[in-house]
Chain A
Amino acid sequence: MFRAGCMGLLALAMLRIGANADDRNPLAGTAKAAKAGEYEFRINCALCHGLGAHGGGRGPDLTRAVKKHAHSDAEMFQVISNGIPGTAMPANGTNGQGVGMTDEEIWQIITYLRSQEVKVPANAKGNAARGKDLFYGDANCSLCHMVAGKGGRLGPDLTAVGGSRTREAIIDSVRNPSRRLAWGLTEATKEFPQEYESVTVVTADGKQIKGITLNEDSFSVQIMDTSEQIHLLEKDNLKSFQKSRQSAMPTYGTDFLSDKDLEDIVAYLSSVGAK
């Protein structure tokens, strides 16, 4: 889900006030703690952040030296302990994955992450200013996607995506949008299970509605149609209900969007998302 944004920053500000952990990692720099942290990371974090902390479908690359939500060790401790409200990042022990960690184990994970950080980030290849022009212009991204409150609603809000997804994941999502829909959350963090599945229904009076699912259960479905109208429907009353994991987003091949153009768009999203 691409739903980090301001909520996370606000939450971080609140957490700072409430911080009660040691300011410094008592295990900083010790190899044994880093190794123990690697075990803990695999059990508790790798589901979303990937093996080696390089980022997965659901969580950002944590080998980046500059992190969006936590800079100091104490901030990392708070984020791991309490999660980041408004994002898929759960509080320690509440995500159904892994066992929950003691304070010592959280410090071990921080030690591990520090040991994995790439100190010099790769220079962004693209031109962010040009990427912004493309996003809101010829590439048509903003017809469906919003960044910082501007753009369409049919696809995920991309304000935070540059900070929460790897460059490779963003490129893959543009080139192969149906390979994975906007990553659905796992059940434990499923408060909002929107997965942008494509849907076509025919109502009792024969009206066809095409769009994406905002939500669904066994008996009802909430749809946004292609003109951003919301339809609240009971499945029993529909003539037909067809759902597809073929993304509503067109596949952007290199014939339509060159590699350079895409790099520029990624640079734009990264410049926004890192804020």
Chain B
Amino acid sequence: MTRGAANQRIERGWGRISEGSRPPWKSGASGPGRGDLPGAGFSHGGRRGLKAFPFAVREAAREGPLFHVGLRIKAAILATGLFGLMISSWGQAQVTFERLVNSAKEPQNWMTYSGDYAGKRFSALDQINLANAHTMVAKWVYQTGATGKLETSPLEVDGILYASAQEDRAFALDARTGRPLWMYQRQLPGDIRPCCGRVNRGLAILGDKVFLGTLDAHVIALDAKTGNVVWDRVAADYRTGYSFTVAPLAVKSLVVIGISGGEYGVRGFIDAYDAATGERKWRFYTVPGPGQPGHESWQGDSWKTGGAPAWNTGTYDPATNQIFWPTGNPAPSNRGAGRAGDNLYSNSLLALNADTGTMNWYFQFTKHDEHDWDATQIPVMIEAGGKHLIAQADRNGFFYVIDRTNGKLLSANAYGKTTWSDTKDAEGRPVANSQSSPTLAGRTVCPGALGTTNFMAPTYDPATGLFYVTARDQCDTFSTAPQPYEAGHAYYGSAYFPSEEAEPYTGFLKAIDPATGQIKWKFEHTSPTWSGVLSTGGGLVFSGDAEGNFIAFDAASGKPVWHFQMGGAVYAPPMAFAVDGKQHVAIAAGSAVYAFGLP
């Protein structure tokens, strides 16, 4: 890009920023306001300050980023070019597939759910590091106004932070100040069937749109600059238990998304929609129908209500054009009688062709599950010893390392308290023992139904070579009883209860060496947390706790080096970005999104 072109882009950019940032109550302009945002209809605002802007740019260039940023940010600036960075910092550039593939080249941005296609949730930013993390302060707080569990993992692109919240809210914030640019909230029907809270875990971004899966099983594209609905597609009938809570994944020209509803006896699927038009390009049913391979793993008609949802975000390997997407429990979750067989492809990792959705291979973590052990944990792509691997800390208590070229299991080691398996099959897969199957009176099994981990996003730090995951030791009593399927009604086949003997439950942040499966270190929380984990180039690991603390740990030792009390329990993973050359770490807690940085 030439310098002249850059200036033009900057000027256009200023026009936008002026419109967006000018206090509406001063403008006197009226417009079609949206939601709670005062004067949100500012699209006819003026262009005040246009001439002054180039000076501001020069000032920023001299005083700002270049003199204070960490090495990785400097590298990014050099790679992008100074004006490239300036433009991108005003939120103008399109988010192309190439940018998503090469996300490592712009560590100041966080453009996918896990920060990259590999699922590492690793930020190369090192401005905040072991030496200075103890000085971190809160930079801003954004209150969503939502109640319940805020599970969102924000995106940040070119100075704008995009996130979702409960009841299918979405919003865009000035990443420097936390001030909202737009807000969206879907008008949900009164009779939706969210299994586990009216939650949403995040957005995807591609081109000039962000994508939201809704609790009434729609996929929606929003204009990234306004929050306007661009297209809206129905994936399934919510009245029979289908919903979306997952952050979609944008791949090539597609928006890939997996369904929820394993508690309602849905037939799970993974969909891909054309990002531009909303047209559905493919669907992969996670429960194979008659005539398809794997169908024989279901007894009778049980496949029709077999569950196997796909409610956590998968990963993508550009080298092989494969999507790795994990699936959840077979339904009914606590009753195996009536669905004899392995129940493919429940609790599995699927390798799908990104263009067609056809399956290349699968690996099933828990066969014929009766404990609600969805295998929907993030399948993290790691490279080690010249091998292309996937590491997954599974809800069933075992840490699996899989060869992602062929789906073969390389190792499976317990990383928490497990009682359900004493042996492994010929492939090395843990096999359930006879004492783990639920009975009417109830049987105590570890881990409990919540699992050793759950939807909490883990992280892999290439520098330490460690995999960090939130873990829980809790045993539950599993009871089973016959239950007829009735469309739209919860379909558990009975229930589970915390085991009285096993109290209190304990929660940890654990650092696992994928090469050996050994726990390198663990930090015991006061109580189990639902927070995800972030690692950074600063030698730090970040996570939150149920007591409301946001904590920075030494990635090598697990020693806490900083904490901040946010006043609300954490159900979300942290992420990192840099704006104006300053690194931030953000996380949702209570009903708010917090951003932290150096003083």
Contact = CB atoms under 8 A, between A and B. Distances in A.
A21 interface: no
B569 A180 contact: no
Given A187-B528, A218-B547, A99 B497 contact: no
A99 B194 CA distance: 7
Interface string A242-263: 0001000000000000000000
A96 interface: yes
Contacts of A57: 500
A51 interface: yes
B197 A96 contact: yes
B301 to A, nearest CB: 20
B255 interface: no
A167 interface: no
Contacts of B569: 187, 190
Contacts of A5: none
A94 interface: yes
A239 B488 CA distance: 56
A184 interface: yes
A69 B263 CA distance: 30
B527 interface: yes
Given A40-B490, A43-B490, A217-B547, A99 B195 contact: yes
A105 B489 contact: yes
Contacts of A245: 504
Given A94-B148, A190-B569, A217 B486 contact: no
Query: What interface size band does chain B fall in?
Result: 35 or more
A102 interface: yes
Q: Is the interface of B mostly helix, strand, loop or mixed?
A: loop
Given A42-B481, A42-B494, A94-B197, A184 B545 contact: no
Interface in B122-155: 148-149
Interface in B167-225: 191, 193-198
Interface in B466-512: 479, 481, 483, 486, 488-490, 492, 494-495, 497-498, 500, 503-504
Interface in A90-132: 93-94, 96, 98-102, 105
B483 A39 contact: yes
Contacts of A100: 193-195
A47 interface: yes
Given A40-B490, A93-B197, A190-B569, A217 B549 contact: yes
Contacts of A40: 489-490
Given A93-B197, A98-B490, A99-B193, A180 B503 contact: yes
Most buried by A among B195, B497, B545: B497
A105 B193 CA distance: 12
A260 to B, nearest CB: 28
Given A96-B196, A99-B193, A187-B569, A217 B548 contact: yes
Interface string A208-239: 00000000111100000000000000000000
A97 B393 CA distance: 23
Contacts of A158: none
A145 B15 CA distance: 66
Given A39-B492, A94-B197, 17 more contacts: A36-B489, A39-B481, A39-B490, A40-B490, A42-B492, A44-B490, A46-B497, A51-B442, A51-B479, A56-B497, A98-B490, A99-B490, A100-B195, A105-B490, A218-B525, A218-B549, A219-B563
Interface of A: 36, 39-40, 42-44, 46-47, 51, 56-57, 93-94, 96, 98-102, 105, 180, 184, 186-187, 190, 193, 195, 216-219, 245
19 contacts: A39-B489, A39-B490, A39-B492, A42-B495, A47-B495, A47-B498, A51-B442, A51-B479, A93-B194, A93-B198, A99-B263, A101-B490, A102-B193, A105-B489, A105-B490, A187-B569, A217-B549, A218-B526, A218-B547
Shortest 3 CB-CB contacts between residues of A and residues of B: A217-B547, A42-B495, A99-B490
